[in-house]
């Protein structure tokens, strides 16, 4: 996923948050590792991004104060696996998100996890599961702006999937 912005400024903000909240569990083990992994992905180092998310694993389904954004480390890890071309591992991460629907609640990233799951299955060569995941995404986004870039990109990818029997 392409995220526009100034990486240097984002790193400075992350450093500031780390200094201001050094004992906050959600900050130390969810927000900051996720943010640093996103920035590392922006630099093109998916392997390092995966490594940066290791500290988030025990907290990735949420802490008592943190439910919104709880699965973001899982999502970003899935993105990193996709960037490395590791579709099967990416699919496992996005499946984790969908298997924890109660934690995800109405977080918008839940819908995007379905799209990324489709991409992971497509990368893995499982066109049947890929089509199904894309269709789940389209169902959730049925009322979205038809010109939304993510939706247009997803439709194009979906059309390119060839199911072989």
3-state secondary structure the chain: CCCCCCHHHHHHHHHHHHHHCCCCHHHHHHHHHHHHHHHHHHCCCHHHHHHHCHHHHHHCCCECCECCCCCHHHHHHHHHHHHCCCHHHHHHHHHHHHHCHHHHCCCCHHHHHHHHHHHHHHHHCCHHHHHHHHHHHHHHCCCCCCCCHHHHHHHHHHHHCCCCC
Whether the CB-CB separation of 89 and 121 falls below 8 Å is answered with no
Token pair belonging to 99: 């298997």
pLDDT at 73 over 80: yes
Place of tokens 């099967």: 88
pLDDT, position 67 = 52
Residue 68 has pLDDT above 60, yes or no: no
Residue 118 structure tokens:
């489709």
pLDDT for 40 beyond 90: yes
Residue 61 pLDDT greater than 80, yes or no? no
pTM: 0.86
| CATH code that applies to domain 7-160 | 1.25.40.10
Which among 70, 146, 140 has a CA at the least distance from the CA of 103? 70
Residue 63's φ and ψ, nearest 5 degrees, are -120, 165
Kindly state the percentage of the chain with pLDDT values over 70.
Answer: 89
Please determine, for residue 90, whether its predicted confidence score (pLDDT) is greater than 80: yes
The mean pLDDT of 38-51, rounded to a whole number, is 95
Determine the pLDDT at residue 62: 66
pLDDT for residue 87: 97
pLDDT of residue 7: 83
Q: What percent of the chain has pLDDT over 90?
A: 60
Instruction: pLDDT band for 100, please (50, 70, 90 cuts).
Output: confident
Which range (3-12, 33-42, 45-54, 137-146) has the least confidence?
A: 3-12
- State the average pLDDT over residues 44-66: 83
Interacting residues of 47 by C-beta distance below 8 A, sequence separation 6+: 80, 84
């Amino acid at each position: 996923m392409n995220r526009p912005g100034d990486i240097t400024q984002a790193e400075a903000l992350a450093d500031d948050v780390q200094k201001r909240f050094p004992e906050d569990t959600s900050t130390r083990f969810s927000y900051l590792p996720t943010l640093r992994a996103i920035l590392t992905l922006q630099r093109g180092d998916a392997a390092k991004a995966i490594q940066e998310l290791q500290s988030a694993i025990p907290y990735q389904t949420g802490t008592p104060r943190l439910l919104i954004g709880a699965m973001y480390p899982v999502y970003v890890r899935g993105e990193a696996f996709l960037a490395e071309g590791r579709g099967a591992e990416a699919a496992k991460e996005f499946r984790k998100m969908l298997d924890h629907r109660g934690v995800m609640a109405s977080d918008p990233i839940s819908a995007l996890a379905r799209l990324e799951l489709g991409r992971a299955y497509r990368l893995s060569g499982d066109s049947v599961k890929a089509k199904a995941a894309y269709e789940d995404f389209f169902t959730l986004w049925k009322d979205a702006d038809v010109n939304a870039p993510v939706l247009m990109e997803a439709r194009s990818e979906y059309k390119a999937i060839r199911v072989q029997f």
